Each structure stands twice: as C-alpha cells, then as structure tokens.
Amino acid sequence: MTDTTRIGAESAASRGALPETILEVSNLGVEFWVEGEFYPAAIDMNYQVRRGEVLAIVGESGSGKSTSSMSLLGLLPENSRVTGSIKLLGRELRGVDDATLRSLRGNEIAVIFQEPMTALNPVYTIGFQIMESLRSHDRGLAPSEAKDKAIELLRMVEMPNPEQSFHKYPHQLSGGQRQRAMIAQSISCDPLLLIADEPTTALDVTVQAEVLDLLRNLHKRLDSAIILITHDMGVVADLADRIMVMKNGVVVESGTVAKIFHAPEHPYTQQLLAAVPHLGLGVVEDAETVAPAAEVETETSTLASVSSIRERATEAAEETVETRKAVLQFEDVAIDYPKRGRIPAFRAAEHIDLAIYPGEIVGLVGESGSGKTTVGRAAIGLLPIAEGKLTAVGTDISKATQKDLFAIRRRTGIVFQDPASSLNPRMPIGQSIGEPILLSGEAKGKALDKRVEDLLAQVELPKSYRNRFPHELSGGQRQRVGIARALALAPELLVADEPTSALDVSVQARFLDLLQELQQQLQFACLFISHDLAVVDILSHRIAVMHHGKLVETGTRDEILRGATDAYTQRLIAAVPVPNPEEQKLRREARAVLLKRTGTED
C-alpha cells in the first residue's frame, strides 16, 4: 500500500462511526455594518451537509455564497453580524471562543480559497506552509515527519516533482500548481468538511478537469463532505450531488443535480441555466434563424444575445482581416524572463507569429503556464521581447523608448487575471477607474465623476460603489472594476487576460454583449486570453492555441473547435465541462479514452 493510499484508507476508516449529518445550518443570517446601518448578505438559510456528499452553492456574484460559507468558521470581518445556528456533528459553533474555532479550522473544516495567490503566504515556501498546518494541529509531530507527510500530500494532489515543489515559493508556481498546493494544505489534517470556494475559477480547462478529478478522487478516498461554491454550472454538473441556488442572500431553490438541471422551478434558476455558455452553442447554421442585432436588447434571452454576438463577429471578420492594417502583430517573437536571484533565466515563449486587426477578437487558449499571459503582457510593452519584431498600435515595441511605451499604453488597455492584486487596496474603486482618465488629461472634476459613473454603469455596478474599497467587493465585482478601468480611455487595443473568469454566467453573458457593442463603436482589436473555450467559441473570430510557449494551432473558431488536428488541441476541447450531468459523465469517460490513446505528454 502506498503512503498516499494509506492516508486515505486510515481517514475513511476513522470515520466509520460518524453520524450521517456532518453539518446542520438553521436560520442562518449574515449582515454587515456599512455607513451606519446593517446590510443583509444572507437571510434565513437552512440546509444540511451529509457525510461524503458534495453540496454545490451557486448564484450570481454577490449573492451570498462565499459570505454564508465563511461565516461557518468565523472568517468574516469585524463589521459582520451572524445569527442562527451552525452545528458541526451536533455541536453548536455559534458563540464558541476563538481558540475553539482555531482548533476546528483545518482539523474539522478546511477551506480552499478563491484566490490561492493571495491566500498563500508569499514569503514562505509551500512546503513550509503545509508543515505549519500539520504541526499546528499536532504539536508532537517532528519536523522530519511533517516534511515527509507534506511531500506525500503534494504527491497526492499530483504536484509535478513534489520533492522540488516542496521548496518553491507561491510566485514560482503556475496558477494550477498554486491551486494544488492550496488543496494539499487544506486536506493536510483530513477535515470532515471541505469548503471549496471557486476552486477552478482561474484555471484553464485541462487543469480544471484535472483538479475536478483530483477533488472527486480525494472526496472518495478521504470520505470528506464538500461544500462547492461556484458560478460554473459545468463544474457543478461534473462534481455535485445536490445544488442550492442563491440570489440576493436568499436560497431560492434546492434539490438534486438532476432536478435542478432538468426541471428547475424558480425563474431565477431557469435564467441562470439559460445564461450558461455551451461549447458549440453559438454555431450559426442558418443566418435566417439568428435574431438581428438591432432587435436584441439587454433584457432579452441570453440565447438570442449569444446569437447576436456571433452574427456581429462573423460579419466583421473577413473585411477586417483582408482590408485593414494589423493593430497588433507578432513576427517570430521570443520572450525571455531574466535571471532573478537563484531563479535562472528561461524562455517563456518563442516563434510567436500572430496578427490582430481592428474590430477583431483573437482568442488565446492553452494550459496554465503555457505562455498566454506572457504574450499578452508583451503585447503592450510590460515584458521585453528577446527576438523578432512586435508592433502594437503602429509602433515597434522592440525598439520603443520609455516615452514611446507611455504613448502606447494610452492607446491600449489591459484586464489583468487577478483582480484582487491589480487594484490598489488603499484606493476607492472610483479613484482606480478614474486614474487613467485623470492622468491622460481627458477629464477632471465633475466631468471625471460622470465618466466614472458611466463606466460603472457599463459593467453593471451601482454608482454608489465608487466609494467602496476593493476588499468590500466580491471577486466578480472586483473583476468588473478591472474591466471598467481597462475601457476608461476607449483603447485601440484591449488585452483581456481572463476577464470573465470571476464573473457569474448572467453577468458574463451581458459583458460579452457589451464588449461586442463597444467594439462595433470603437473598432478596437482584442487579444482575449481565456481558459473558457465556450466563451471563446461565442466571442472570437479566430483562435490561437498555445502549448509549452509555442503556438501549436491557429485558425477560425470552427477550424479549431470543430476540426482540430493537433493532439493537444483535441485534449483541450475534450476537457471542457458542459452544464448537463449525463453529457458531462459521457465527456469525462471519452476524455479518459482520449488521454489513454494520445497520452498526457506531447
């Protein structure tokens, strides 16, 4: 028996006598004291989590999913107030002292946080952080034993080279590897209940599929219950047993996966499912069946909105590529990261040939660590190129001075992948959005205030939010702020690095429509970096696939998504989860066959 198998077997055996119900929540309410009054975030919630069960909590950004779950362990800020009852194995957690809560965290209930880069300590290696978790709950564990178990845990979560990864810092890992490290730390003390808060949000589809397989296997091996918080209905279809749907802090519907997906009763649940992008949904078989764009309003169905997006994209694509000068052009470009301390220099991307034209969206997809973000940052001069020629908005970046780069950045915009780290935590979001407008000299005073309010309205945030700080917003709301900031100067080139990864599906659909409308008006070029192939299918004119720092396949969306010739691209498409439990099970089985046939390495 291997070490990792033994860990799981011992954990499952030790829980044989546990009661069926792990967690019981009754009349749970959460409120926040803001500007002189309490605002409700969760209202009268009642639910149970049974042993070995996966309960998915779904809903729009700000619906109370994460807030209600973080209240279970007292992980809310001081301006919060929690009412009701929270019982773990029949023991009331409300009102217990801080020392008791600390003993429960990690040992009985653990959390996989939404943003591993901000949840992991940047000054300690991941091995040290896992050891710290182990030794804080077992003071008698020797350092050598803790190290051995930490490496076993890294091996259990299928971290590449666990012995070497043990000594790495969070910034030295890719997004998928950081998520694996977070999971290893979370399961280190064999918790009875695992709260997974958007565990796959920022991951590409292949790594997402691997993490879901990992969670499924760990769930069975450790016999832990899981509360899965997500806005991705494909993930829910792949992993959950039951679903609880939340809107504005209220549970509007709950039931089995089959019931919610196939017979939803509440109008909001129906709208939520209708808004989910589905790979192949936007294929226009007959132009006469597509509603004209002029007839599509924000309030109409998401399916009509998706069709209008695809129609407008198709109409512009051929003329754009054939008759206009490229806004962004890579010509045999290579990008290196220089030596930093003990980290040797390495080549992150090479032989990149890609052009993007006015009014065109090119989707850039690939695994975490494949070089997508590197290419996106080089596009606007945030990373120097080592070889080749890179032209952005008419300027050769490879020869640009600092003055040239400043001028380029006034004509470009970027939406960064991590909204939490890209916004100044000490600056109200209205100031963050208005800063580029003010620095460019385009507006100030009341005119600036009006521009900021208009941008907030475009990304569907109330104007009152301009005075809030980033930590007072949900992950999806912070992403909307990042999008508003990127659009502030009406850029000719927009680099969107996972701009919809933290958005719930309904807001995502409206944002995609908004992006198309703005592009029709401004005709900017867009490099759209995403792990969500269903979104790329809806939005992009062309798709480029990256693997190990190289472009392996480029073509129209139909050529790539429905006629891929590269084995890696085929695996990428097979990993996309779909919002249908039965279909997703078949896709998972087909993917296993494909991986066995082609192998996981090129």
Spell out the SS3 assignment of 328-368: EEEEEEEEEECCECCECCEEEEEEEEEEECCCCEEEEEECC
pLDDT digits (tens, 9 = 90+) for 114-162: 778 788 999 999 999 999 999 988 888 999 999 999 999 999 888 888 9
Positions of the chain with pLDDT lower than 50, given as ranges: 1-10, 12-13, 282-310, 312-314, 316-317, 320, 601-602
- pTM across the whole model: 0.71
The SS3 of residue 74 is coil
Radius of gyration from C-alpha coordinates of the chain: 24
Can you count the helices (H) and strands (E) in the chain?
Answer: 24, 20
What pLDDT was estimated at residue 285?
A: 33
Question: Angle at the Cα of 548 (from 544 to 552), degrees rounded to 5?
Answer: 35
What does the mean pLDDT of the chain come to?
A: 83
What pLDDT was estimated at residue 121?
A: 93
Q: Buried b vs exposed e over 120-141: b needs ≥16 C-beta within 10 Å?
A: beeeebbbbbbbebbbbbeeee
Which domains occur in the chain, in start order? 3-22+54-71+97-274 (3.40.50.300), 295-411+489-563 (3.40.50.300), 566-602 (no CATH)
Measured over the CA atoms of residue 27, residue 236, residue 208 and residue 4, the dihedral's sign is: positive
What pLDDT was estimated at residue 599?
A: 60
Contact 240, 56 (CB under 8 A): yes
Backbone angles phi, psi at 569, to 5 degrees: -60, -40
> Rounded to an integer, what is the distance from CA 163 to the centroid of its chain?
28
What pLDDT was estimated at residue 167?
A: 95
